[in-house]
Every structure is written in C-alpha cells, then in structure tokens.
Amino acid sequence: MSCYVGVSMAKVTFEPSGKKINISSGISVLEAANNAGVGIDAPCGGKGTCGKCKVYLNQGTLGELTASERKVFSAGDIAKGARLACRATIQGDCIIDVPKESLLGEQKILVNGAEYPVEIDPLVKVFSVTLPKPTLEDNACDWHRLQNALAEQTDYDSIDMDISTLRTLPKIIRDQKYTISVTMYRNRVLAVGDPSLDAVYGAAVDIGTTTMVAYVMDLVSGKIIGVGSMMNPQIPYGDDLMARISYSFKEENLEKLSKLVVDGVNKIINEGCEKAGIEMSSLSEVTIVGNTAMHHIFLRLYPKYLSLAPYCPAVQHPLDLRASDVPININPVGNVHMLPVVAGFVGSDHLGVILSCDIHKSSEMTLAIDVGTNGEIVLGNKDGMVCCSAAAGPALEGSTIKYGMRAADGAIENVNISRGSLNVKYKTIGGSKPLGICGSGIIDVVAEMLKSAVIDVTGKIRERLEDENDRVREGDHGYEFVLEWARRTKIKKDIVITSNDLREVQLAKSAMYAGASILMGHKGITAKEIDRVLIAGAFGNYIDVENAMTIGLFPEVPLDKVKSVGNAAGTGARMSLISGVKREEEREILEKLRYIELATHDTFQDEFVSAMNLPHKDISLFSETMKKVYAPIPVKNNR
C-alpha cells in the first residue's frame, strides 16, 4: 500500500469530459487539468492576466479567491463560481466545469506548403557496394576495405563512422558475403546492412509556437509519405514566446519545456512514420525549423538572453547533431539538422521561408512577411536582403482580443459588413455557431468596419451610428460593434469588437507596416519597386489578402503581386532535407541577409505612429485602397 506523508491527496473531476485525477492538494487547477489530460488555454502562461483560463467550481472547495481573479471577473461571474484555473488551488475533492471557450480546441493545421521545384539530391544516400574479400596478402581492416570500395564505386573518398556503426561492420560484411548496403550522410556511414535494403527516409519538422508538423519523406522520390502534427505541448506554459522564455529562466523549467517539445517532435515523426508504414528507427535524417526561442528550447539552450537586449542567440549557424544526442528516436547515429536562425526574433522558420521562396536567388524584389506575435519581415533579392522582427503582439492571432480565439472550430472568418445596413455575413471554421473570432477574422472585421465606415481612419468607432444601428453601442469600456447576437452564438453572449480590440489590431499592424517601411528605407526603395509580397504561415493561408492590405498590414501593391505561400517554413525544412544544394544555400542566406533591430531604430517611432491610421496616415501610400474605403478622415488627423 502506498501512503503519503504531509501532503493530502484530492480527487479532481473535470466536466464535461469527466476526466479524473488524484493529485496532491495545493497545486493549481491548471496543473491538475494538464495532468488529467484536459487542455486548458493559458495564453498569458498562467500569470493570471489574460483571463482565458476561466473555469467554474461545480462541487467542493478551492483556495481563496485571488486579487487577479477579483480584477478579471465581474461580481456576477464570481457568484457563478468562476475561477482562473491558473490561480485557484486544489484544496480537496472537487468537480470543475471547464467551459468550451477555455479548452484548447483542435486547431486547423497547415500541412501543405507551396511547392517550388527543387532537384532531389539529399545528403543522405544509400548504396550497394561490393568489398574485395580479404586474403593473407591483402588483409587491410574492414573500415579501409569499405572505404576503398566506396571510393571506387561511388564519389566518397574517405569515410567516417560512429563506433556503434563500426561495431556492426565486421559481422555484416561477412554475413552478407561482401556485398552490403551502405547508408551515408555526407561522408559518415550511418548504417550498413542487407544490400536489398535500398530505401532511405527522413523527416522535416516545423516547430511552431502553436502547432508542430512533421513531414516524413522518401528521400529517393522526394515525396511526402506521411504527416504527423499536434499542438505545441508547451502551450499550457504560455501562449506566447515571451511567457515561455520567462518560464525557462529556471533551468529545471527549461528542461521540462525542452522535454515536452522533443517528445512532441518524436511523437509527430512517429505518427508520420506509422501513416507511411515504416519504422521511425529507419529514418536517417531530420531537418528542423522553428523560431529562435523554439530552436533554443528544443535544444535545451538557455533562452534567457534572447529576451534581453541585445537579444543574442547562443548559436546562429546551422547545427548538425547526432540524433541520440537530442534525442530524436530515428537511427541513433542519424543526423538532426537545425536550420540556422538569423537573430533573437528571426528564426529558422523565417530562413525556411526565404529558402523555399528562393528570395536569395531571385532577381525579384520580394517582401515576405510572417505574421505572428513577433512578425518576421524580410525584403530583398539575390543581391542582398534585410530583415527585422516586429513586435506585433498576439492580437492578429486572436489573443488580447475580447472574443479572440485561435483558428479552431467555431472561429468567425470571412466577414462581410454591408455598407449602410451594417448587416454582417460571416463563416465559421467547421461551420458551427460562432465561439469567437480568429486572427484572419479580425482582419476581415476591421477592414469591413473601415470600408463600411463603422470606424474612421483613426480606428475610432463612429459614435453617432449608435442612434442608427443597434450593432453600435456603448459597452463597459467605450464603444463596441456587435458582430453576432448572443442567441446565435455558442457562447450565448453577444460577440462584439471593442474599441480596445481595434486599438490592439492597429498596434499590431502598424508594427508590421513600420518594419516593412524601415526595410524599404534600408533598401532605398518604395512600394512601387516591390515585385512580390509573400505572406507566409498558417495565418497567411487563411487571411483575405486584400483585407490585410486594406488595413495597412503591409505596403500597397497591385493585388496580383501578393501571394500566400502557406507553411513556407516547413517547405524550407523539406527542401533542406531532400537537397544538398538547398542545404548549402542556408549559409548563403545568412551571408546575404542583414538583420535590422527595430527597437532602437531612429525612425521606428515615427513610422509606427504614422502607420496607426487605417490604412496609413499618408493616404497617398494607399491610393488604390482608399478608393474602397468610406471611413471618414477626421480633420484634426489631417493637419
């Protein structure tokens, strides 16, 4: 029998899932939920500030109400038993109701990036070679015998081998009667075996802040043969990177987060392998992209200094690690290739975008943006590129927006507001009643509010519309616009866009625009000279590009020059996996790419303020856009 001394145990039940756990008292409801396998959203990382982890006490007692909770909840909420899962502590047996909007939903995951042609010539290859049988006159060692055979029958001059591979060599040579298969990564022998085994597999992994995808590939055909994906298992420790970096200041926390993501990567690669019907241990190589914080946490590199000026990464250039050192459960001596990161807030995901979109090789002047809490922007072509990271905040991902949510089932998107009547048409992901608004929906809403003149170009809701239309009304914190009425929503509340929401979107988009504008300044060009605008990331796949340009998220260019490139970061990882040439280009990109720090940039503040207007204070920069915008321009703003 087990017994516990000093800590009393409690049985916690989560509803409506009915999941139960026995756990020691004193821990937070959030932690109990994580342990029980109930995913509760915690965008602020459990700091008690975002209010998204709301749960209800159904039965039993919890620790005393905290100051954070009093601040976040109304008296009515509190009367209903509302608690913040991250703040309320378990005191004994209890039943907790988890409302749908607090759950981490099944999210849309983008698994197919745009395809650019690339010649299949991976660094991992398999050969069948025949070794001369040793004699008393020619009794060189097995290693040399293999090396000489490879030199004669292939392009490898000299080889290297891990001791564990060497240990298998003498027996395999003789068991296979001197004709063996040899799997090579560069000049390193990864495996020797039966000559009939001539397949070689790898995986490309994109570790996103929110979602992770693994593409398992046949390295002979260059084809994807299986895909695995999951939510980033670090989400319970913070929706945004800063929360996770702060959490990792403690080394044991870093180990915890690192293990979560490494285990997660193993899981999704394995999922892809199962779909492909192959053993994960037969994979020879994995390439990985992610933002710099994910890159560091994955490798258990202390990420603190990424968050402090001057934001130095521990390592920038590409890394090649032995799989067992990570550990990634492919062939233990296989290679794990980490694509290089550019700077503290420009990761290998963005380098993957450049790589897969061939920006570094193209003569077209390209602006590529990857929208996120830290928006990554690059501008340039084969003659040189500049990049920056814009602190856009999480608004465009649905966080910090009152009814914001991730791009999951029930999220409003494709919004249309009729000019005059202000009738709202929209779709939701999955087609159900709405739960909230996702990032692409937010952009649509703001663009539509601008076009239909619900707001003026400064982003202010036009108060006088209150008298004309019930959708415009004064809420607790200023004016708001009702997108959908409570009776038609799943959450049984009016879904509204608040003045504050509008402000958050403006802050985000002006940071993005200011970044792009400063890059243009560095290249000495105007929007007219941009040949193409690429919008990368899952976000880019779902947004209405025209609406994004309407609110001034990026400089105005003819619409046909704008293209969503989907998960171009993941595509970059896949190209690196199947092409030694692309692999080499990673270093070329680092050389051609200059990072511009926005935080201390001379003109950033001015650029930022000017870009707060929708689409921009200088409307001459958006002359085409303004033709469709009916929002008034306040006189004082026009001075």
116 binds, among ligand FES, its own copies, none (CB under 5 to 8 A by kind): none
135 binds, among its own copies, ligand FES, none (CB under 5 to 8 A by kind): its own copies
Residue 121 touching its own copies (CB under 8 A) = no
Nearest CA-CA partner of 490 in 426, 436, 415: 436
- The size of the chain, in residues, is 639
Q: Which residue reads 């602006």 in tokens?
A: 367
CB of 236 to ligand FES, least distance (A): 9
User: How many C-beta neighbours within 10 Å does residue 624 have?
Assistant: 12
Contact yes or no for 449/483 (Cβ under 8 A): no
134 binds, among ligand FES, its own copies, none (CB under 5 to 8 A by kind): its own copies
CB of 54 to ligand FES, least distance (A): 8
Interface residue with ligand FES, options 46, 113, 347, 537 (CB under 6 A): 46
Interaction with its own copies in 453-482: which residues (CB under 8 A)?
Answer: none
Per CB under 6 A, the segment of 78-86, 145-153, 362-370, 556-564 that binds ligand FES is 78-86
Nearer to ligand FES, 53 or 169 (CB): 53
Residue 368 touching ligand FES (CB under 6 A) = no
Contact yes or no for 419/523 (Cβ under 8 A): no
Residue 568 touching ligand FES (CB under 6 A) = no
120 binds, among ligand FES, its own copies, none (CB under 5 to 8 A by kind): none
Residue 49 touching ligand FES (CB under 6 A) = yes
Interface residue with ligand FES, options 39, 51, 202, 515 (CB under 6 A): 51
DSSP symbols for 445-481: HHHHHHHTTSB-TTS-B-GGGGGT-TTEEEETTEEEE
Cα end-to-end distance, the chain, whole Å: 80
Nearer to its own copies, 72 or 301 (CB): 301
> Between the CA of residue 222 and those of 219, 357, 426, 566, what are the distances in Å?
5, 18, 40, 19
Q: How far apart are CA 422 and CA 622, in angstroms?
A: 24
Crossing angle of helices 163-175 and 142-153, in 10° steps, is 80
Q: Which helix (H) or strand (E) holds 54?
A: strand 54-62
Q: Where are the alpha helices (DSSP H) in 524-634?
A: 537-542, 545-550, 568-578, 580-592, 604-610, 623-626
CB of 47 to ligand FES, least distance (A): 6
Nearer to its own copies, 332 or 478 (CB): 332
Interaction with its own copies in 355-394: which residues (CB under 8 A)?
Answer: none
CB of 498 to ligand FES, least distance (A): 19
Residue 304 touching its own copies (CB under 8 A) = yes
Per DSSP, the three-state class of 137 is: coil
Residue 393 touching ligand FES (CB under 6 A) = no
Residue 599 touching its own copies (CB under 8 A) = yes
Dig out the tokens for 437 from the structure: 């608004």
CB of 315 to its own copies, least distance (A): 4
220 binds, among ligand FES, its own copies, none (CB under 5 to 8 A by kind): none
143 binds, among its own copies, ligand FES, none (CB under 5 to 8 A by kind): its own copies
Q: What's the longest Cα–Cα distance across the chain? A: 103
Interface residue with ligand FES, options 39, 48, 202, 537 (CB under 6 A): 48
Nearer to ligand FES, 52 or 295 (CB): 52
Interface residue with its own copies, options 70, 71, 174, 488 (CB under 8 A): 174
Nearer to ligand FES, 264 or 394 (CB): 394
Edge-first strand order for the sheet with 9-15 is: 19-24, 9-15, 90-97, 54-62, 82-84
CB of 85 to ligand FES, least distance (A): 6
Dig out the tokens for 195 from the structure: 């000559």
Contacts of 65 (CB under 8 A, 6+ apart): 78, 83
User: How many C-beta neighbours within 10 Å does residue 120 have?
Assistant: 15
Per CB under 8 A, the segment of 122-130, 208-216, 232-240, 319-327 that binds its own copies is 319-327
Ramachandran bin of 144, using left for φ above 0, alpha for ψ from -120 to 50, beta for the remaining angles: alpha
Residue 42 touching ligand FES (CB under 6 A) = yes
**Amino acid at the residue 509:** K
**Amino acid at the residue 366:** T
5 binds, among its own copies, ligand FES, none (CB under 5 to 8 A by kind): none
Interface residue with ligand FES, options 13, 52, 291, 472 (CB under 6 A): 52
Interface residue with its own copies, options 197, 315, 391, 633 (CB under 8 A): 315
Nearest CA-CA partner of 346 in 323, 327, 368, 363: 368
Q: Site size for its own copies, by CB under 8 A?
A: 47
Q: Which residue reads 């989400």 in tokens?
A: 235
CB of 305 to its own copies, least distance (A): 5
Q: How far apart are CA 148 and CA 138, in angstroms?
A: 12
Nearest CA-CA partner of 200 in 169, 173, 221, 176: 221
Q: Which residue reads 């048409």 in tokens?
A: 425
Per CB under 6 A, the segment of 44-52, 93-101, 110-118, 596-604 that binds ligand FES is 44-52
Q: Which helix (H) or strand (E) holds 632?
A: none
Nearest CA-CA partner of 326 in 265, 237, 244, 250: 265
Q: Which residue reads 């042609």 in tokens?
A: 117
136 binds, among its own copies, ligand FES, none (CB under 5 to 8 A by kind): its own copies
Contacts of 74 (CB under 8 A, 6+ apart): none
Per DSSP, the three-state class of 130 is: strand
Residue 297 touching ligand FES (CB under 6 A) = no
9 binds, among ligand FES, its own copies, none (CB under 5 to 8 A by kind): none
Interface residue with ligand FES, options 32, 53, 227, 455 (CB under 6 A): 53
CB of 25 to ligand FES, least distance (A): 19
Contact residues for ligand FES (CB under 6 A)?
42, 44, 46-53, 84-86
Contact residues for its own copies (CB under 8 A)?
134-145, 162-164, 166-167, 169-171, 174, 299-302, 304-305, 309-317, 319, 321, 325-326, 341, 343-344, 595, 597, 599-600
